[in-house]
Amino acid sequence: MKCVACSAQVPDDAAFCPRCGAQLAAATPRRSRERTDLDRSADDAPPAAAQAFSRRRPAADDPEEDLWRGTYSPKAMIGTWAGLAALSATTVGVGLALTRDGRIWGGIFLAILAAWLLAALTLLYRRLSIHYRLTSQRLFQERGILMRTIDRVEVIDMHDITFQQGIIERLLGVGTIQIRSSDRTDPTLWMRGIENVGDVAAKIDAARRREQVRRSVRIDQI
């Protein structure tokens, strides 16, 4: 390389001319420039935690599809109705054996009627106040009539999905689903009175696995 001031031959990596001391504008070697570009790219790159978080964040245009909707199933109270029927029959039988007093029988019938009415109101309240909605990304649980509480759980944050059934519930196909997640507000979510409980639990688990694949997140990273 020649010095632009005195035309003396100087090394390619020299910053100043050894003869006249002039500064060489093109002194920065190409390799150094390439290094600088690489260093700048490395500095601009997000850390590993941020990259993992970015993989977990859905894109703004990701479609969220409804997969299932449900509410408290009347079949979940079949055991209650059976218990009330047995209790009513037993009460009537004992009453017939002990007394024929009309006033006592009036009290017995009022007590039986109040028990059945309470059970019916309980079923009505649960049907109106509990609603579930599963999408491809989230699970919603709505509770309440006048005052409503909505719990939202990201399906990708779910750790474990199990369901429980009693003897009568197994015959009717209803049960309770328990979901454990990393949600800070409500880490354990109970879904009671779910009809076709096995199929619903399978849908929730399938949605969780699809979301993990879509965001390239392994279970041990959640």
Quick check: pTM over 0.85? no
Residue 71 makes CB contacts below 8 A (sequence gap 6+) with 127, 130, 131, 132, 193
Three-state DSSP state, 91: helix
Radius of gyration of the chain (CA): 36
* H-state helical runs in 45-101: 48-56, 78-98
pLDDT tens-digit profile, the chain (222 residues): 777 777 777 777 777 777 676 677 654 444 444 444 444 444 554 555 444 444 455 444 568 899 999 999 999 999 999 999 999 999 888 888 887 787 888 888 999 999 999 999 999 999 999 999 999 999 999 999 999 999 999 999 999 999 999 998 999 999 999 999 998 888 999 999 999 999 999 999 999 999 988 887 654 444
Residue 196 makes CB contacts below 8 A (sequence gap 6+) with 173, 174
- C-alpha 188/C-alpha 184 separation (Å) is 10
Three-state DSSP state, 186: coil
Domains in the chain (CATH in brackets) are 1-44 (no CATH), 68-221 (2.30.29)
